[in-house]
Every structure is written in C-alpha cells, then in structure tokens.
Amino acid sequence: LHGDLSPNNIIIFEGKGFFIDFDHAKFLSDDGKADTSLCGMVHDGHLVQHMPYDDLESLFYILL
C-alpha cells in the first residue's frame, strides 16, 4: 500500500515508470489487510483509513 500516489511520486527512467517516496507505505498481510495503525488522515477530527482501493483510484487519476 503506497499511501501517497501522485504525479510527483512517479519517475520515468529509460522508458519505464517507477513509484518513489515510500514514506507512507504499508505492507499488506496475506489476507490483503494493511497495518492501519498509522495509515490514514484526519478529516474534520475523524481518522479516515487509507485502503488499497484508494491507491488504485489515485493511479487512475494520474493516468488520465
């Protein structure tokens, strides 16, 4: 789980794209769940958990 996908965190090297900046990254367990103890953001005083589909949505908007 990258946690911070944006155009600023992708580089192109020799025609291939690479994700960089894994400061907010989390490993997924075998059951597909991430350690969410520090994975999320605060919105209006409530913790919003970052999920794998959030990274997919971010990638979709980057590729538009």
Q: Given this model, what pLDDT does residue 39 score? A: 54
Query: What are the φ/ψ torsions at residue 54 (nearest 5 degrees)?
Result: -65, -40
pLDDT of residue 43 exceeding 70, the answer is no
What does the alpha-carbon distance between residue 9 and residue 23 come to, in Å, rounded to a whole number?
11
- Model confidence, pTM: 0.57
Q: Where residue 15 falls among pLDDT bands split at 50, 70, 90? A: very high
Question: 């994975």: which residue's tokens?
Answer: 39
Instruction: Give me the pLDDT at residue 47, please.
Output: 67
Mean pLDDT, rounded, for 8-22: 89
